[in-house]
Amino acid sequence: MDLRTALLRAAVARPHVLVVGGVGTDRLRARVEQEVARRRWPVATAPADTDVVVVVGRPGPELGAVIEDVWVGVPAPRARVQVVDEHEIVPGLDETVGTLGDLDAQRALAGRDGSRPTRAASPSVDEDDEQHEHSAHDDHGAEHGTEHGTEHHHHGGGTELPGGLAMADLAEDRDGLALDQLHVPLGPVLPEWPSGLVVDVALQGDVIQDARARFLDVEAGEAVERLPDAARALTSVARVLALAGWSGPAARTRGLRDRVLFGEGDTAHVADELDALRRRVHRSRVLPWVLGSRKSSRGAVLDALEEKFSSARAALGGGGEHRPTTTDLPALDARLVGAEFAAARLIVAAANPAPQPALAEPTSTEGAS
Amino acid sequence: MSTALPLGGAALLPGLLLAVTWAAVAADAVAAGRAAGRPVSWTVALGLPGREAVRLLVGQRRRTAAGDELLRGIGGAALLVAALMAAAVLPLGLRPVADLGPGLVWFNAMEVVAWAAVWLVGWGANSTVSLIGGYRFVAQGLAYELPHMFALITAAVGAQSLRVTDVVAAQQGLWFIVIMPVAFVAFLLSAAAMAFWGPFDAPVGRDVAGGAAAELSGVDRLVFSTGRWLLLVASSAMAVPLFLGGGHGPWLPAWAWVLVKTLAVLGVLIVLRHRVPTIRMERWTEFSWVVLVPATIAQALVVTLVVLGRGGI
């Protein structure tokens, strides 16, 4: 083993993982997150911080295109693995360590200089086709994007910069001043973001002027697998806490969710821990202070958090009847308009929308503004 | 009057700072594991800074479409250089690398460079979340800088000098933390805020996917995060000569006291990070300007009166 290989192996022993899944993959995704946490591997914040991309389930064409986009932005040494079954998780993650430490494989993967190609310059690129079946990139020109997606949004009338980027528009802000307005898709690859959700927003500064939420690859009326109520509520709580910068309690909540989903029937103990966590959140004086934003009647997110705790507690038994409230996409759009970026992230995490066959037609939802 | 360290001190300084940073990163990993209920052992944690550094050194540098590479590079380097320059006036023991007359002003000027640095990194990437992160830091600067400067001024008034070694000498009998506790608390909070360290980590928060650092990979990310850590270490180390008596203390030599006190301050900041959720800039501005600014001004006034009463100035 020469020095370079030794160095590479040392470098990749604790890879940062980016988990990407479409709508309806939440259960498998939770399993992946659990295994990643068990290995003490950090969860990446963005593609640039990623070593391993774990694709959960079989992404549809829209999400598939987004994943290709994300993959281009992941710096070498890098590895990608697709997981469609719980039994594939452990061998899959083990395999990525091997790929990351393999100098020849990495040379092949790091062919480019790491810059993101523009749409025109990148006909469907797929570096490791043999591992992946989703080669449906026919709609590569459609408007998708990650959180870095400004470069892909060809807004009508916007001036093109070199590299195929769209310039910002001008529009009136909330005080009636003409300011730059940027059209950006939020999601689906963002930390603490609901699977498969994309919100196309118009941003001025970091204030959202217009929002349109949609789910990728979901046909109207299609039935989608959902997590049980308790696990779903806990996922939402964990995301809100993580976005509030309280990573310890967030990780503990996620651990509780995993035990609700996969635990060996020790629900009594889980309920106790849930109550302890809830008391801790209640006791915090900083959390209400930072969550309550000036405009929204002090702490709509805080109320949602409380509601999720009750819902999880009720689902675990012992908390009385409780029907979890659900948010449909038009309602979410309405709430996002006028929110600042940080507040918007919290609103989405607290609402935790899911496709609702009876109610929503995700492709034709209209913003409330 | 004590003088500056011989030239060897200048070569020693980055090494010392990096060693303390190493320990702080490891302690942070242990604290994070404990907070998350997934304990990380000290042996693993101590290897962690090296592992992450190698990972980033090996990692590919990545560019964003139409990003401004030059500005981004300048920003990352400036953060690192500013932290080192700020540390130059730190007495390692009783003598600093550079015993500047206006040492406190120098320290303050260097740390303000971080504003430009973080903003440039956020701007240069040409990405929405980076830009939001960069601007968040500028807004945060508005929040923490005023109480921070009043805290520095209070220590200078107490010693009747802007020279850091004079401030240490003035604390031979009584540590300044005793007569100016408010200034100390304000300094500690602003030390965390200037290194965008939790609970003031909104500029690199999870909600903006890493914020100013979102698009950094490979050696770029290493430079940026090392700069951030050095800034945290340098600013918490500054609390020692300003408020905690510098190298003064019984039994141990001066350098050991400086080290022990610096690690203690860092420990407090690490615990704070894992206890408290992120405080958004607009919230902090409100608290800072309404509570901390008047409180630090009152503190400066009290200290001034004490100094006048003793027949100073």
Restricting to A residues 205-244, those with a Cβ less than 8 Å away from any Cβ of B are 205-206, 241-244
The dihedral region occupied by A157, where left means phi > 0, alpha psi between -120 and 50, and beta the remainder, is: left
Q: Average the pLDDT over each of A65-79, A104-118, B44-58, B93-107 and give the range with the smallest value.
A: A104-118
Interface probe for A, chosen from B40, B207, B286 (most Cβ of A below 10 Å), is B207
| A195 touches A59 (CB < 8 A) | no
Q: Kindly report the CA angle at A322 between A317 and A328, in degrees rounded to 5?
A: 130
Q: Is B26 helix (H, G, I), strand (E, B) or coil?
A: helix
The whole-angstrom separation of Cα B19 and Cα B16 is 5
pLDDT of residue A132: 39
Q: How many C-alpha atoms does A245 have within 13 Å on its Cβ side?
A: 28
Residue B230 has pLDDT above 90, yes or no: yes
Residue B140's region, left for phi above 0, alpha for psi from -120 to 50, else beta, is alpha
Q: Where are the domains of chain B?
A: 7-309
The answer to whether the Cβ–Cβ distance between B217 and A191 falls below 8 Å is: no
Residue B66's alpha-carbon distances to A117, A163, A223, B213, in angstroms, are 10, 6, 41, 17
CA distance A280 to B277: 12
d(CA A105, CA A128): 10
> What region, left, alpha or beta, does residue A165 occupy, with left being phi > 0 and alpha being psi -120 to 50 degrees?
beta
| Rounded (10°) angle between helices A341-351 and A300-316 | 20
Give pLDDT, residue A363.
43
The pair phi, psi for residue B208, each rounded to 5°, is -105, 30
Residue recorded with tokens 């010693």? B159
Q: Is it the case that residue B313 has pLDDT exceeding 70?
A: no
- Two tokens, residue A283: 């006791």
Distance from CA of B283 to the nearest CA of A (A): 7
In DSSP terms, A160 is beta-bridged to: A166
Cross-strand bridge partners of residue A83:
A56
CB contacts of A97 in chain B (<8 Å) are: none
Classified by CATH at the fold level, domain A3-117 comes out as Rossmann fold (3.40.50)
Sorted by where each begins, the domain ranges of chain A are 3-117
Nearest Cα to Cα of residue A190 among A179, A201, A180: A201
Distance, in Å, from the CA atom of B79 to the CA atom of B83, rounded to the nearest integer, reads: 6
For residue A126, the model assigns a pLDDT of 37
Q: Model confidence over B121-148: pLDDT tens digits?
A: 988 888 888 888 999 999 999 899 999 9
Question: For the segment B276-299, what is each residue's pLDDT rounded down to a tens digit?
Answer: 898 888 888 989 999 999 999 999
Half-sphere exposure (Cβ direction) of A255: Cα atoms closer than 13 Å: 19
Select from B126, B128, B137 the residue whose CB has the most chain A CBs within 10 Å, as the one to mutate to test that interface: B128
Q: What is the ipTM of this complex?
A: 0.88
> A107-111, A200-204, A332-336: which has the minimum mean pLDDT?
A107-111
